[in-house]
Every structure is written in structure tokens, then in C-alpha cells.
Structure 1
């Protein structure tokens, strides 16, 4: 990618048509501009007949016309609108008729992809949103017609598979009662067990204990779990997770309800009221058969993977192979910073000073690489609130970080970054402030120390002239001396840092003084 461009990716799924519009930039990375979804249910009735009905075709073509118009209005060249069709269209005997209608009325050339290709694109999308662990994770994407399974770690893909067990297919094939009868439930469980056998065997051999789930079904489940726990269902779910225990509580409550009762559930899409039943049974079996501890949610999947594949010459994933490591977190932070017109030089300099102070004070805080990383990202983003207001930019920085949809971080980590950035100036951490009060005690201790470091680092570049080049700490029982090296006498920087030092003094229980050592 050598220049800025906008791309629209359209996923023609069994239940819904989705489009995501992104702007790709060599510096900013891939930034989402807009997204839209329509529950077309083009696969309704076609699972058994293998024929798309005319009403679904009409609705699908009309929706794609709207998508193309929206993409055009958002500045996407027509040649950069890509459209892929999955399970229902892939299997329909009259798919060529539908594809021809789409081309004649919209100009779009729809590409029908195989199940393995679908799994490959889903992997690319999820990998751009959630950090895989050092040990292999299971990735599953529940569609209407098929479910894709990938087993991968940070650098390697071990398994790709697509099974015809999507929720629309299972609803049409197995469920005739409402609520679902015990006999139909058991039959569906047995069918899932047989279909998942090869993936389960591979996962067991690789020691998989965690799963990453994408798709509307999984997001609906996560929202219902949040609602059941009394938490807001209207938050970004990316990188959030739920445990087997939390899922079981929802499962027991929902499976006894009929469709009218399910409609009243918070977090459940109205058009998934019936589809959620086979979805819950499948996720329950996935937890059981794969012996999982938790499921992490990814809000990126096929569409985002289509964009990544379109932008770069990605290798096929048919066999295990080494892949270049992707720093999702850093890329996401930089994207957000660019969107907020950040002061790149100043923020980068503050980040460098923070790293020096963190390392020099290691014996006092005892934190590791994760906390060091969170401090650096807090420094990079500490000033982005100036996009809204100079006077209260620390509060605006916190708000933007909390709502900026950072990828690769858990909700707790985003909350920590936001709090550290918020306290780089003005008042120090306080339980009077709701976002700080939301933190667990162990996370507050991290925020307290990291905010203290960031406050001093921010003072040491008070004039944004990047005068201080190095910091060396000398630590005694009741005192810390910070020896500063710089280009010229740092009177303004020391004056500002002295004003910001009281919080770190209170956290460490030591007084802090500054001395200057001119660079040779």
C-alpha cells in the first residue's frame, strides 16, 4: 500500500448482508469510515431446496444498490468495491441467476468463495482485531449456513475448516418446537458433536483452552450475558470475553423461553429471536467439546479480512506456515492518534521519557512488559483530547480512548490506558472519578504509578521542544534523584516537572529532586 485509498467490502451472508467502508493509509493504517448491515435472510428456505427464492433475490439486489450508492457517497471508487458471497449463495442452484441480476442492476461482480477461503479471510480479519496468544487459540465464526473454525497462535495457522452447521441451516433442519424440545435439543447436540470431531481432535492435540468468536450470533450472546450481569449492552464488545460459567447462566435462562419471551431479552437482535436457539446450543457444545475456559469476542471478521487481502498479497493458508507478527495494539493506537490529529513528535518524546523512567524505577514498582506497554500507549494518546478542547483535554483524551474502539486490548486494559492518560495533568487519580472507581484495586495501583511517571514526563517536555534527551534515576530509602541530560539548560522543564512530582512522591513515599547534566 503506497497511497491513501478508500475500500468497501461487502459480505453476502446467509442471514445478513454487511458492508464496511475503510480508509487505508500508509501511515494511519486501516481506519473504519462506515459500516451497514441488512438482515436479508437470503438463505431462508434455501437450505433444503437449494434455491434462492425470488423475494430474497429482490431484497438482496435492492440492498446492494443502496450499498453501492453509500460507498460512492463515501468516496469509494467503484473499482474498489469488493463483494464476496458465502454459504447460501454458494450452494444455491440458481446462484448464477442472482449474480447476473446483481451485475446487471448494480455493476458489482460478486465473487463466490469456498468455505476454506471464507475461513482464511475471517482469520485475517480477526487477527487484525484480537491478539492471539502464545498458545494456539480456536477461532470460530457462526454464520447462517456454515461455521468456520481456525486454530492459530501469534505466528502460525494449524487448522482451517468450514462445516455446514450454520444457525439458519440448523433451525430449518432440526427445530420445529418452541421452546425447543428435549429430543430436538439432544439430536442437535449429537449432530454438532459429529461435525466438530476433527477440529476437536486437532485442538486437543495443540492444548487449546481459549476461543475467539466473531459473528452476530456470538456478539448477541455476549450482549445478553452483559445484560444479565447488569452491565450495559451498548458498549464495544471487541476483545471482551465471557466464561463458561457466565454462558451457562444465560443458556439455562434462555433455553426455556419461547419466541415471544425471547423478544424481550436485552441485547438480542429481533431478527435473531429464533436463530439464537441453535446458536446457543452450538456455543454450549463448543465450550463442552473443546473444554474451553473462555470465549473472546472479535468485531472484525470476513469483511475486514477481505480488505486486508485486497490491500496486500497475502499467502494462502491451506497448510501450517509461519506468518509475520502483527502488532495489533500499536497499529490501533496509532490509527486513533492520527484520527485525532496528534502531535506526533511531542507524544513520541513523552513516550520515550516514560520508558526511561519506567525502567529506571523498576525496583520500586515491580511491573512487567504489559504495564510498560500500557504506559507507552497512554503517553502516545495523552494529548488527543485537544481535538475537542485545550482546557480540559485530559478528560477528553480519557473519553476518546474509552470510546475509540482500540483493538487487541481487553476492556480492563483500555480503561487503564484511559485513566493514565486522563491523569497526565491537573488532579491526580481519585475515587471521585467514575472511570477510576471502575478499576479493580490491583489495576488502580498500576494506574497510580504509571500516571505519576506520565505526569513527570509531561512536565519534562513542557515547552514541546524535546530538550531533555535522557533521564537517570538514583534511588535511596527516602529520596529519588533524577539526573537530566539535555541540549540546553532546562529551567522551564524542571519548573514544570516539580509541579507534577507530588503524586509520584506520594505513591513511592520518596521525595524527588531534579539535577541537570549538560550533554557533552
Structure 2
């Protein structure tokens, strides 16, 4: 199997950033194994894989049975990472140069903090635990790259991207290329295996009944975002999916494989019907691989059967490629803009679930961004904070779904307990607080969710909420009358001039009520002329 993504000639007229090619590396500490990738990334963001290494790990079994990582698991991890460190020295890379992430097993381990500390002291590697939302984001980057030459796979119809891991199953739903939602489900090959052993203690043939119940519940929830029978593109990621593609595509599996639905289902059923020993003998697998592949393919088959797709796409990609691409995504502004669009699409999908006023939200978003751009000198924030403001503006009123009175607090709760593709937990906490303060009382020391933020995040919340309050006041009537703004500063005033000459008495009254926070944060009194 080739590990080299296609090298492309730059398109005429397309600028190529000046980037020095050098090796990059990423390590994933997963539930079933610890895996390394080393690659070169050229100025166009193309990956050329130089090396891979993988060692099986007991971390998932430790965490999903005992709740924490055992001493043997710690010693095993240290030994594996030290061996990877020796390999990386051959590429001139030191532990401080490497991105090391931990996924579901480390997220759930009760002793994860001491584990990370011991790893850092004894190997030099700094482990960063990624949340399920970020894990999904990294997988999406890898899939987009692997399918770069066939973008129509994700844009021509509704699509589901599915990865079955040891601890969780990550699901992304796209409506003709636009992100609708992402979910992290507590369904994984190791987790299911341990739950069967510990609770049901049933023979292997009962696993399917157990999985069917869990997956039906998950699919009922997912179908609220997008009817699964409308899904026509089914993308599978993960070692078990790549194993199936390798077997079914005649071992000619390069950048991606396209598998027939019926063929895949028959292969998954065949693996499930075989004993672990038979799988090992026929496919030359280790015991752990034979066990996890059979369960993983069964999970994938059950999700597939809920959709209307006739073929499966299996990219030759993993989260590790996503880590590398995330390091250098700034090389290509089009990638950054594509991700921003997907974040906004996910926010809109969440807002629609709570029946928001789409026209009002869109207008407040436009006004917020105009104000943000006009106040660059005053706020000193960047593109990422601008995107967070955009998301907050879309979602600021969703709390009215629960109750109109106090809806700003309900908006905060709904946002804080939701997932938005491409945003990590810190981002979501900022957005939820910005929505919380779009009206009524500014932040107080008694507001736990605000005070619990890091100082830097509290400053961002203050600046973005101040802007959102003004934007919301300017559309007090929900009519979109205030538009096409121009701005003027005096010593202590920020004058807002709409392009129309209308009676803006209602908006001026609302701005007088809500402009105090803007004045406190920026030292300028907002005035609508």
C-alpha cells in the first residue's frame, strides 16, 4: 500500500507560500495502540510519508475495565515512546518537536494527569489530550486531503463519515458538502468487548444483538440532524476499514478504495462468523487485531445498513495525517476558509434544531462582523475570535426554544452542552458566555461559568459580547432596517451611521440600554445617527 499522497504541479496563477520542507511527526496514543507517522510536507501542503510505526497497547482495556491506567500500562507506554524517540532521532527530530495526542482512553482515565506527567519526565514527550470534537476535526482534515482529487464524493450528495475506534465511534454528517453535525458515541471495539464480558457474559453470537440495540439508539438520535436514508456517500475510516479495503480491492489500495455495499456486508458477516483463531490463521492477524476487526466491521455494517448508500469509500488516512495537516494548514488560506465554512454550517444546523429566527440571526451576524472589523485597533483580536463571534451571533437567541424569559441563560446552557464541529471545549465555553451576555447583566464575579474561564478567555468574552450586544440592539425590531454601516470615532464616541435615513427611535433606545458594556470595554460610547 502506498503511503504517498499525489504530488501536484502548482496551478497557473496560484501562489505557493515560501515554506522549508522538513520532516514532521505525530504520535497518537489510542485505546488499542500507540502509532507514529513521519512525513514531509511541501509548500502546497502535500504529504509524503517517510515512516510509520505502531505498537499494540493495553491502555483501553485498563481504562474501560478499571477506570484508570495500570502501572504496567504506564511502563509499556514509556518503553514504546522511548523506542519511537530513538527512531525520530534518525530524522533529526527531538521529543519537543513532536505532536503527541491522547484520545478516548486518556480522556476517561482517572489518573490521566499523573500519567501525562510521568510520560513527560521519562520520555520528554508532551502529551496533549484531544477532546472528541477536536478528534473529529482532525479526522475530517485527513479525509479531505485523501479525497482531494475526488471532492465530489463529499459534495454531490449527503454523506456520513464514520470511524470506529477502541473507545468511541466518531460520526460526521454532511449535507452536500456542508457539515450538519458531528457526534462522539460511546461505542467502540474495546468498550463493547469489555461490556459484553463484564455484564452480559454471553457467547459471541449475542454481540450482534447487543450492538444492534446500542446502534439503533444512536442512529435515532443522529437522524434528527439528517435522515439516514438520504445518505448516499458512506466514508469509513480506521484500521478495520482499511483492512477490509485491502482484502476486497485485490490488495491494490492506494489513496482510497471504493467498495460495493453488498460485498462489504458479506465480508463483515464472514469475519463475524469466524472464530478469533480462524481470523488469525486466514488473514495473518494478531489476536487483538482479529478480535477488534470483527467487532469494528460489525458496527460499521450496522451503520451502513441504516443508510441508503450503495458504495463505501475508504480513504488511506488516519487521525495522524490530520495532526500533521493541522500543523501546517495556515500554508493554504483555502483550507482555513473551508474549515470556517464548515464550522458556520454546523452552528446553523444546531440553531435550526432549536427553531431560531434565521433572518434575525443572519443580520446580527452581519452587523457583528462589520463592528468587529471596524474595531480592529481597539480589540486586537484575530481571525479565530472573529469566527467565534460569528458562531455566537448565529446562536445567541436559541434559548427562546426553551423559554423567552431569561433566554440568554438558556442559550448559554444549550450551547455549552452541544457540539459544534471544529470548535474545542474552550471555544464552546467562550461562545456560550458571549451568547449569555448579549443582553441583561454584564459578567459578575458570582457568574461561575464566566469566572471559571482562563483570564485570556474572559477578556475575549468581554470584547465579543460587547460587540454582540450592540449588533443585537441595532436589530431590535428584527426587521433588518439598520444596514450598510459606516463608522466614525471621536475622542470618546463611536458613531454608527446606517446608509438609510429612517426613524431609528427603537434601535436608539435599545442601544442606550445595551451600550454600557461596549463603553466599559472599549472606552467609546456607541451612538446611532
Q: Same fold (TM over 0.5)?
A: yes
**Structure 1 252/166 Cα, relative in aligned 2: closer, same or farther at 3 Å?**
closer
Question: How far did residue 85 of structure 1 move?
Answer: 0.4
The one of 138, 153, 173 aligned to 2:160: 138
**Structure 1 61/309 Cα, relative in aligned 2: closer, same or farther at 3 Å?**
same
Question: How far did residue 110 of structure 1 move?
Answer: 0.6
Q: Show the counterpart of 1:97.
A: 114
Residue 36 of structure 2 aligns to a residue whose secondary structure is strand
The one of 174, 198, 204 aligned to 2:196: 174
Q: Does 1:241 align with 2:258?
A: yes
Residue 21 of structure 1 aligns to a residue whose secondary structure is strand
CA contact (8 A) 2:172 2:181 kept: yes
Q: Does 1:320 align with 2:345?
A: yes
CA contact (8 A) 1:148 1:162 kept: yes
The one of 204, 209, 218 aligned to 2:232: 209
Report Cα offsets for 1:460-510 as digits up to 9, x if no partner.
Answer: xxxxxxxxxxxxxxxxxxxxxxxxxxxxxxxxxxxxxxxxxxxxxxxxxxx
Q: Does 1:290 align with 2:312?
A: no
Q: Show the counterpart of 1:186.
A: 209
Q: Show the counterpart of 1:161.
A: 183
Q: Show the counterpart of 2:173.
A: 151
Question: How far did residue 52 of structure 1 move?
Answer: 1.1
CA contact (8 A) 2:272 2:295 kept: no
Question: How far did residue 138 of structure 1 move?
Answer: 1.1
Task: Select the structure that is richer in helix.
Answer: 2
Question: How far did residue 280 of structure 1 move?
Answer: 2.5
Question: How far did residue 269 of structure 1 move?
Answer: 4.8
Residue 60 of structure 2 aligns to a residue whose secondary structure is coil
CA distance in 2, matches of 1:276, 1:27: 35
**Structure 1 154/24 Cα, relative in aligned 2: closer, same or farther at 3 Å?**
farther
CA distance in 1, matches of 2:103, 2:45: 31
Structure 1 residue runs without a partner (length 5+): 323-520
Question: How far did residue 141 of structure 1 move?
Answer: 1.2
CA distance in 1, matches of 2:292, 2:201: 13
Q: Does 1:59 align with 2:79?
A: no
Question: How far did residue 241 of structure 1 move?
Answer: 2.2
TM-score normalised by the chain length of structure 2: 0.55
Question: How far did residue 140 of structure 1 move?
Answer: 1.0
CA contact (8 A) 2:59 2:69 kept: yes
CA distance in 1, matches of 2:267, 2:27: 32
CA distance in 1, matches of 2:271, 2:45: 43
Equivalent pairs, count: 315
Question: How far did residue 221 of structure 1 move?
Answer: 2.6
Report Cα offsets for 1:408-460 as digits up to 9, x if no partner.
Answer: xxxxxxxxxxxxxxxxxxxxxxxxxxxxxxxxxxxxxxxxxxxxxxxxxxxxx
Question: How far did residue 174 of structure 1 move?
Answer: 2.0
Question: How far did residue 274 of structure 1 move?
Answer: 1.4
**Structure 1 206/275 Cα, relative in aligned 2: closer, same or farther at 3 Å?**
closer
Q: Does 1:5 align with 2:22?
A: yes
The one of 84, 88, 111 aligned to 1:71: 88
How large is the Cα RMSD of the aligned pairs?
Answer: 2.5
Query: What are the equivalent positions in structure 2 for 1:194-205 lying under 5 Å apart?
Result: 194-204=217-227
CA contact (8 A) 1:200 1:290 kept: no
**Structure 1 68/195 Cα, relative in aligned 2: closer, same or farther at 3 Å?**
same
Q: Show the counterpart of 1:326.
A: none
**Structure 1 265/307 Cα, relative in aligned 2: closer, same or farther at 3 Å?**
same
**Structure 1 27/211 Cα, relative in aligned 2: closer, same or farther at 3 Å?**
closer
Stretch moving more, 16-25 or 199-208: 199-208
Q: Show the counterpart of 1:33.
A: 50
TM-score normalised by the chain length of structure 1: 0.56
The one of 112, 119, 127 aligned to 2:129: 112
Question: How far did residue 286 of structure 1 move?
Answer: 0.9
Question: How far did residue 19 of structure 1 move?
Answer: 1.1
CA distance in 2, matches of 1:26, 1:284: 39
**Structure 1 110/291 Cα, relative in aligned 2: closer, same or farther at 3 Å?**
same
Question: How far did residue 78 of structure 1 move?
Answer: 4.2
Question: How far did residue 89 of structure 1 move?
Answer: 0.7
